[in-house]
Structure 1
Amino acid sequence: MRLTVLSGVTGAAVAALVVGVILERVPVLVSGGGVLVLLILLAALGGRRSGREAPPAARIALARIEDLRATGGETADVPVKFRLTVAPGPEDGRSAYRVKISQSINLVDIPAYRPGGVAVVEYRPDQPWDVRIVTRPTPEWSRRAEGAQIDSAPESTLVSDPDAVGGAWCLLGLVALLAGAALVVLVFRGELFTSDDPPAASKPPSSSASRTFSTSTTVSGPSSSLLTFGRMRATAMELETRVGTAYVTAITIEDHRMAVRGDSALPPAETVHLQSLPYELLPGLVREARTTLGVRDPESWRIDVTPGTGGGVGPRVRVTVSGTEGTARLDADATGRVTDRRAVGETG
């Protein structure tokens, strides 16, 4: 019981010391440290006192062999378990008691020990369970053992080594240690586990939940026109890597330039996927617009791609050409199929 209490107090003191450091609470820190120092001093004084007191000398007595059982037999000394009734001397003022011991006996001497017989034993008055059979007693004790009659002590007098159940006491002490620490943490749980950050509701709302972006790139060098086969798709992949997403809201393509715009807050249905367009068909649409819409000497062209209007309609592709005669355009769907034409001079 004392060990359990000391374990609980120790756990609480250590926890108070740690909590005091974390919360920077000097009284808690001093209390935990003071209790720990006091426990250390008490342990030191107890150890010094026990060291000064010499244990009493072992004494000789007679014991009745209630039962014995050999537990091995491969060597000359055989382990034997005895159940004895020890009869202490009158100077101890103690009545006979029972004890269980295990001792190695030479194989030759085992016949001398039999149930109901009397043996000479050595025991410690302060630890009555610490009993050892004297295999070579003095002649005087041998004569006493031969003529002695010892009555069996009742089973209720059985004594045992408390260290034999030390594991259970250690477990109980550990539980008490943890319980003491948990109690201190529980007392200060409000301060330990409360965040200093303001609650999420008090934080000012973000100025914008979306991220708009735009970027462009210009191609140069031999065969730098985006009408070159494969050049549009390669440029689109480059822009996708730059903005970190394939979903955009607008794509503009000119002879040497491609640009994209987007808004990360929009759902995919309201955007255009950069890799879903038929880039390989777009140069053909440009040629068709330059040759069939009444612009005899086109000076520039441009492709604008925007999301569809919903209802399963894909992106809309518009090709615009300009020249001295004016501006003309044609519209196509995501497969490159022309859906509308506006030649020079036409309105609508």
Structure 2
Amino acid sequence: MGTSDAGLEETTGPIALIRGFLAGAMTGAALTCMVCGVVIERVPVFLLGAGVQVLTVVALLILESRIRARKPVPATRTAPALIEDLRATGGESADVPVRFDLTVVPDDRPAYRVTISQAINLADLPDYRPKSMTVVEYRPDEPWEVEIVTRPTPSWTARAAREKADSAPEATRVSAPARKGSSCFAGILGLLLGAAVVVVLLRGELFGDEAAARRADSSSSSSERTFSSSTTVSGPSSSLLVAGRMRETAESLTGRVGTPTVAELTIQEHRMAVSGTTGGSQDAARAIDLRALPYELFPGLVREARTGLGVGSPGTWRIDVEPASGGRDLTIRVSVTGEGGEASLEADAQGRITERHGT
């Protein structure tokens, strides 16, 4: 088998099918590794896929360059040709795409018809007219590969000027054979098989209990929302100790954050603040229900802390509501600061004082 035959087999024969299948399989496996690496959150799997893809591309480029180097330079011959018809298919640049219908008149074979498309300089376009002769180059092994010689030698220019040719019959028309899709099909088949192999190998991590738990955690975390909000009342008679004002302010904050359960609640003379998390991760047993607190008892607890713990009066005060923990019920802590120092008391969810921490 000669060099030309070997090159043809490498591009169209069984070798091309095998090469297409392997290239498709490697590409499918590499891309699937990269996607699966992202889904299961494993960087090594993603990097493996990326590395295989790079190696596949490099190997294909090297193989293609070797095939091109082994293919012989196609031989061309010059011949006169009769322009049967021509039509410009564009015209937005200096080189105009033109579709030619030609009768090529070789010296070593019968004349034949062929249709080609070639860009012709706008200034040279008047030189090409129907039923006029021109000079072309064609390939004897692939006669449909024809190109008009825009700058022929003087001898060929003279021959074209005196040459007369009849139109070849339509039955002699040649055209490039349709490309076979075997290599393409082999590549697609390899792509699918490569992807399937990777999915099968990683099926445990993709579809197992661990993957389901990971997706559930991801879904839960994506639906969570941490919030923090506060409201301040102003004016000499706007203290939150005014009857009914604490509950009214708590209801306002509940509407603002969109939930009645919070993780922290702080009340001061003119400010109430809450914080927490929505989306299901907040422990219901440790949450503070703003609707269930005995706000009407809070002013009495503040008064008791300011007058009964020895800090003197007047003084600043602060209420911190702590959620239940370690078997303890919800705790209401009232801290006060006065001339005599700092002190605090603790009460339960019903407003009953359980502990005192004096100065």
TM-score normalised by structure 1 residue count: 0.44
Q: Give the greater-gyration-radius structure (CA).
A: 1
TM-score normalised by structure 2 residue count: 0.43
